[in-house]
Amino acid sequence: MIYALVGNQNSGKTTLFNALTGSSQHVGNFPGVTVEQKYGIIKGTDYQVVDLPGIYSIRPYSNEEILTRDFILNNKPDAIINIVDAMNIERNLYLTLQLLELRIPTVIAINMMDEIRANNASVNIELLSELLGVAVVPISAIKEEGISELIQVVENTAKNKSIPKVYDFCKPGPVHRCIHAVSHIIEDHADKVGIASRFATIQVILNDQHIINLLQLNDNEIETIRHNIVEMETERGLDCEAAIADMRYKFIESVCSQTVLKPEKSKERERSINIDKILTHKYFAIPIFAVIITTIFWLTFGPIGKLLSDGFSSFIDKIIGVIGSLLASYGINEVVQGLIVDGILAGVGSVLSFLPMILLLFFFLSILEDTGYMARIAFVMDKLLRKIGLSGKSIVPFLIGFGCTVPAVMATRTLPSERDRKLTILLVPFMSCTAKIPIYAFFTNYFFVEHKALIMTGLYFGGIITAIITSIIFNKVAFKGNPIPFVMEMPNYRLPSLKSVALLMEEKAKDFIQRAFTIIVASTILVWILQSFDLRFNVVEDASLSILGSLGKVLEPAFRPLGFGDYRFVTALVTGLIAKETVVSTLEVLIPTGITTILTTASALSFLTFTLLYTPCFAAIASIKREVNSTIKTIGIIVFQIIVAWLISFLVYSVAGVLI
C-alpha cells in the first residue's frame, strides 16, 4: 500500500514523514524545502509513504501543484494523509476541500496540536470529522504524539477504501448550478478515465488543459461548458476562479466557526511580531544579518573551529603516522608505501581534517533556519533581489547553494517563471558550497593565519557580489523582463529543535566522510599514479617530468597571468571538477613541502578567487544539465563560469600585486 502525504508548505509534512519512517529528511522552518517526492517505509509495516512538495491548492499553474496533482491522479495512492497546520487551519483547509473532491480514501492529520494546547485554543476533532466526512487525527509531528493512532486510522481507511463522505461544498446559487451542469456533461467522460467527476468538473471550470484533454470532450460539449461558465460569471459578478474560491472559503468559515476555538493572537505569533520589529526593521535588518553571518564565520573559522580542527587533524596525523610505521616495519615495497602514506592517507587526511569546521558551520546555519530567521532573510532580501532583476523566491536556491549546488539547482523548480529559473541556475554556482571550505581553510592556514575569518567572509561575499553584478548585466542583455512577485508566509520563530539540528549534522558528516573515502580516495590514487610515473611508466624523481606534469604544462600558460601558472595548481583545479575537496588532497600529494614555497600571497588570493568562481563539480554540472535540458546551454554556462573566474582572478591578482 502507498500513502501520499499532502499539505501546505511548512505544515510539518517532512517532520511527519520522518516520524513515520524514522528517516532523516531535511526539515526546515522554511517554505520550499521539499521540491521532490521522497519515498519511505512506515516503521514496523511494509506500507510506503511519499512526501510531496507543499502546496496551497491544486490549480493547474505551478510546477509543484502539477507534480502533486499528477502523482495523485497517476499513481493512485491507497490513501492521502492530508496534514493540516492547526494554527492556520482555515487556510490549510482550502487544499483539504480540493483533496476531498478527489474521492480517494483520505485522513486528515491535524498537526501542531502542541501549539494549540500551549495557546489554550482547541479544535473539536469529532465535529470536524463529521462535517468533512473523513477521519481526523490530532497529532504533533515534532513531539511524535498521535503517530501510532494516525497509522492505525490510515490503515483502516485504506483497507476499507473509505471515501470522503462530503464533497459538495456549494450552497444553491449560480456557482452551484454551473458546477452541476458541467458535472452532468463530463460525468461519463470522467468515469471512463477514472477521475473523480467532482474534481474533474472544477478543474475543467478552471480551464485545466491537462484534464480537459484527458476527458476527450467534443466541441459541442466544450461549447456548452463555456456557455455555462460565462453565465455563472455574469450572474455571480466574479470570474470563475474567484467564484469557486469564494464558495470554498464560505464552507470553511462555517466549518471553522463550529469547530475551532482560536486564541485572539497566539503567543508565538505575538512573540514573532515583536522579534520581527527588530530583525526585519527597515534599516537594521541587513546590518543585523551581516553581523550574524560574520559572527558565525568568525566562530566557525576562528577560535572554536580552529581548536576542533587542530585537535582532529593531529589525531588523523597520529593515525597516519602509526599506519606508516607499521608498513615500514613490515618492509612493504617503497612505491606501495608511498602510494598508501603519501597518496591515499595524506590526501584523505587533509580533507577529513576540515570536517569539524563544516559541521560547525552547518550547526549554526541549521539553527538560523530552524528558528525561522532564514525565512525573514528571504523576505528582507526580496526587495533587494527585485532591484537586481531577480525574484525573491530565488533566495531559496541561493541559500541551499551555500550547502551544495546540486539540490540548489533542483530547488529552482519552485520558481514560477522560466526566466527567473534560468537566471537563478546560472547564478547559484557563485554561492560558495561547503566542499570549498577545505580549500579556503587550507590556504588561509598558510597565508592568512591572522585574518582567516576576514578572508572567508570576503570569499563568500565575493561570490554573492559576482552574482549580483552578473544578474544586473544579464537583466539588461539576455533576460529582459520582470521577475514574478513572490509571496511567502513567515513561519513563527521557534526554538531550534536539537533533534533536527543533530539529524542535519549527522547527514552532513556521513555525506562528507563517504565522499572522502570514495571519490576523494579514487582521485587521490589517480593523481598519485599520474605524478609518480612518466609516459613510459618509469618511476620519476621529479614530478614535473611525470604524466601529470606533462599534461599540466599544456594548460599552464593560460593561468600564468593569474599568478599560479604551475602544473600542480592547474591539476588541482582539474581534479576539483570531480569534487571540490580534491583540490586540497591533490595539492597535499603534489606539494609535500607546502604551497608557500610556490605561491605568493597575491597569487594565493587569485587562486582562491578562481576556485570560488569556476565551474562546480561534475555532479552539479549534471544537475544543471538536467534542469536546463540542453547540452549546448550547459556548455555555455560552464564556459561562462570559467571566463568570469578567469577575469575576476586576474583582477584580484593585479590589484593584490599592487597592494601587498
- Name beta bridge partners: 261: 122
Residues with Cβ within 8 Å of 529's Cβ and at least 6 positions away in sequence, in order, are 339
Distance, CA of 576 to CA of 317 (rounded, Å): 23
Q: Which of 423, 424, 371, 422 is nearest to 396 (CA)?
A: 424
28 counts as binding ligand GDP under rule CB under 6 A: yes
Among 3, 4, 21, 34, binds ligand GDP (CB under 6 A): 34
Q: Which of 523, 511, 418, 405 is nearest to 467 (CA)?
A: 405
The residue whose grid cell reads 513515520 is 20
State the nearest-atom distance from the C-beta of 13 to ligand GDP, in Å: 3
Could you tell which of ligand GDP, Mg ion, none binds residue 9, using a CB distance below 5 to 8 A set by kind?
Answer: ligand GDP
Residues with Cβ within 8 Å of 417's Cβ and at least 6 positions away in sequence, in order, are 391, 483, 484
State the nearest-atom distance from the C-beta of 571 to ligand GDP, in Å: 42
Instruction: Find the binding residues for Mg ion in span 34-63 (CB under 5 A).
Output: 34
494 counts as binding ligand GDP under rule CB under 6 A: yes
Q: How far is CA 105 from the centre of its chain?
A: 31
Q: Which of 521, 518, 510 is nearest to 345 (CA)?
A: 521
Instruction: Find the binding residues for Mg ion in span 18-37 (CB under 5 A).
Output: 33-34
Q: What are phi and psi for residue 629, nearest 5 degrees?
A: 60, 40
Stretch that binds ligand GDP, among 10-18, 269-277, 311-319, 409-417 (CB under 6 A): 10-18
State the nearest-atom distance from the C-beta of 7 to ligand GDP, in Å: 6
Instruction: Find the binding residues for ligand GDP in span 40-69 (CB under 6 A).
Output: 54
Query: What number of chain residues touch ligand GDP (CB under 6 A)?
Result: 25
Among 6, 11, 301, 402, binds ligand GDP (CB under 6 A): 11
Give 27-30's long-range contacts (Cβ < 8 A, gap of 24+).
27/370, 27/500, 27/503, 28/369, 28/370, 28/374, 29/369, 29/370, 29/371, 29/372, 29/374, 29/375, 29/491, 29/494, 30/369, 30/372, 30/374, 30/375, 30/378, 30/396, 30/491
414 counts as binding ligand GDP under rule CB under 6 A: no
* Residue 148 Cα distances to 137, 159, 182, 542, angstroms: 10, 16, 42, 67
Stretch that binds ligand GDP, among 27-35, 287-295, 310-318, 445-453 (CB under 6 A): 27-35
**Order of strands, sheet of 38-41, starting from the edge strand that comes earlier in the sequence:** 38-41, 48-51, 2-7, 79-85, 106-111, 135-138
Instruction: Find the binding residues for ligand GDP in span 331-390 (CB under 6 A).
Output: 370
Could you tell which of ligand GDP, Mg ion, none binds residue 586, using a CB distance below 5 to 8 A set by kind?
Answer: none
Among 3, 4, 13, 602, binds ligand GDP (CB under 6 A): 13
266 counts as binding ligand GDP under rule CB under 6 A: no
Could you tell which of ligand GDP, Mg ion, none binds residue 523, using a CB distance below 5 to 8 A set by kind?
Answer: none
33 counts as binding ligand GDP under rule CB under 6 A: yes
380: left (phi over 0), alpha (psi -120 to 50) or beta: alpha
Stretch that binds ligand GDP, among 5-13, 55-63, 373-381, 574-582 (CB under 6 A): 5-13
Stretch that binds ligand GDP, among 140-148, 179-187, 209-217, 312-320 (CB under 6 A): 140-148
Among 6, 7, 8, 14, binds Mg ion (CB under 5 A): 14
34 vs 371, beta carbon nearer Mg ion? 34
Stretch that binds ligand GDP, among 6-14, 546-554, 569-577, 648-656 (CB under 6 A): 6-14
6 vs 185, beta carbon nearer Mg ion? 6
Are the CB atoms for 614 and 572 separated by under 8 Å?
A: no
Cell numbers for 335, please give them.
Answer: 612505491
Among 15, 21, 575, 606, binds ligand GDP (CB under 6 A): 15
Are the CB atoms for 611 and 618 separated by under 8 Å?
A: no
Q: Which residues bind Mg ion (CB under 5 A)?
A: 13-14, 33-34
**Which residues bind to ligand GDP, rule: CB under 6 A?**
7, 9-15, 27-29, 33-34, 54, 111-112, 114-115, 140-142, 370, 494, 497, 500
